[in-house]
Amino acid sequence: MDRFVFLTFDGLSRGAVYAAFALALVLIWRATRIVNFAQGAMAVATAYVGYSVSAATGSYWLGFVVAVLGGLVLGAATERVVMRFVDHSSHLNGVVVALGLVLVIQGVLGMIYGNEFRPAEAPFSREAFTVGGIALLSPFDLFVFGAVFIVVVLLAVLFTRTSVGLRMRASAFAPDVSRLLGVNVGGMLTLGWALAAAVGSLAGMLVLPTELGLHPNAMDIVFVSSFTAAVVGGLDSAVGAVAGGLIVGLLLSYVSGYLGATVAPIAVLLLLVVVLLGRPGGLFSRSAARAV
């Protein structure tokens, strides 16, 4: 029972990260009908920069902020310089271009930093508090929950209560009509990518301390897990992304805990297959999401 409680909290903590990452994917999907396959690589790149800054200045938090801001910049740049020019007549063009980006980013990171695992320290202790002899959460877990919660709330407020959010939603739902109403649709698209990438970078900084370390491929499995989370929740649904993230986190935690850590990624694959074949629209979608 102790183990179950511990695994549950651990799973929720991981799940919060997947939720944030899945949100980033859903953001871009809703705005552009592209799944940003480069999201993981972009997050790793900003994490490298963040940790370099931390190492150079001695301040973790400065590096953290730089990483998130770097995400904003990288996301905006990607949209402006690359994605804007993709021919959208085929939905797969965006995927292939994003994959090209993955190769470029991982190649450049490897050239600059090498392919060894680098330490990624956590800003808080990862030792769990014990309550009544049961290990619950660590300070780091609380930090993760808090950070993701704040991000989700901020995004929700942004999108539902601000005029920028209204413009962004209108640009995603009806770009031509929005242009006629004076909305700078192109700018909103760039902003969407920037925000999504920033969220992805935040998620990266939150998850890397729990992984083997910093490495150009470090976010590959996180991407797959988060993609699964987004699919589980329904690519169209932000609420679904959060729910999906928590579900995937819990699943991974239980499988790791009871069957072994190496089996966990296989469980993710199985979940993905089951959802894609059984309920492709996800749990929360409103439309047939499998048809692109």
Partner 1 sequence: MTALLEAQGLTVGYGAAPVLHDVDLTVAQGSITAVLGANGAGKTTLLRTLSGLLRPAAGRVVLEGQDLRGVRVEQMVRRGVAHVPEGRGVVTELTVDENLRLGGLWRRDRADTKRALDEVYGLFEPLARRRRFPGHQLSGGERQMLALGRALVGRPRLLLLDEPSLGLAPRVTAQIMALLRTLRDGTGLTVLLVEQNVRGALSVADTGVVMSLGRVVANADAAALRDDEDMRHAYLGF
Partner 2 sequence: MSVTLAPKVDAGPRQAKQPGQRRHLLWTVAAAVLILVLSYLLPPFRNYQLATVGAYLCVTAGLTVLTGLNGQLSLGHGALMAAGAYTVALVQEKLAGRGQWTLLVAVLAAIVVATAAGAVVGLAAARLRGPYLAGLTLAVAVLVPAIASTFDKTFNSDQGLSVYVDPPPVALGAAFPYERWQAWLAWIGALLTVLLLATLVSGRFGRALRAVRDDEAAARLAGVNVARTQVLAFVVSAACAGLGGALFAVLAQSVSPGAFPLSLSLFLVMAIVIGGLGSLAGAIWGAVLLVALPALAHSVTDSIDVSPAVAQRLEGNLPLALFGITLIVVMLAAPGGIASLRPRRRKA
Q: Are 250 and 240 in contact (CB under 8 A)?
A: no
Binding mask 96-115 for partner 2 (x = CB under 8 A): xx-xxxxxxxxxxxxx--xx
Q: Does residue 95 bind partner 2 (CB under 8 A)?
A: yes
Q: Does residue 160 bind partner 2 (CB under 8 A)?
A: no
List residues near partner 1 by CB under 8 A.
163, 166-167, 169-170, 173-174, 176-185
| Nearest by Cα to 38 from 241, 215, 146, 196 | 196
Q: State the DSSP string of 266-282.
A: HHHHHHHHHHHHH-TT-
Q: Does residue 268 bind partner 2 (CB under 8 A)?
A: yes
Q: Are 63 and 208 in contact (CB under 8 A)?
A: no
CA 289, CA 231: separation in Å to the nearest integer? 9
- CB 153 to partner 2: min, Å: 28
Nearer to partner 1, 112 or 181 (CB): 181
Binding mask 65-84 for partner 2 (x = CB under 8 A): -----------------x--
> Would you state the structure tokens that stand for residue 176, as one six-digit string?
């031509």
Nearer to partner 1, 80 or 179 (CB): 179
Q: Does residue 214 bind partner 2 (CB under 8 A)?
A: no
- CB 105 to partner 2: min, Å: 8
Nearer to partner 1, 70 or 281 (CB): 281
Scored b (16 or more CB within 10 A) or e, 193-203 reads bbbbbbbbbbb
CA 86, CA 208: separation in Å to the nearest integer? 31
Considering only 69, 158, 276, 283, the residue that binds partner 2 (CB under 8 A) is 276
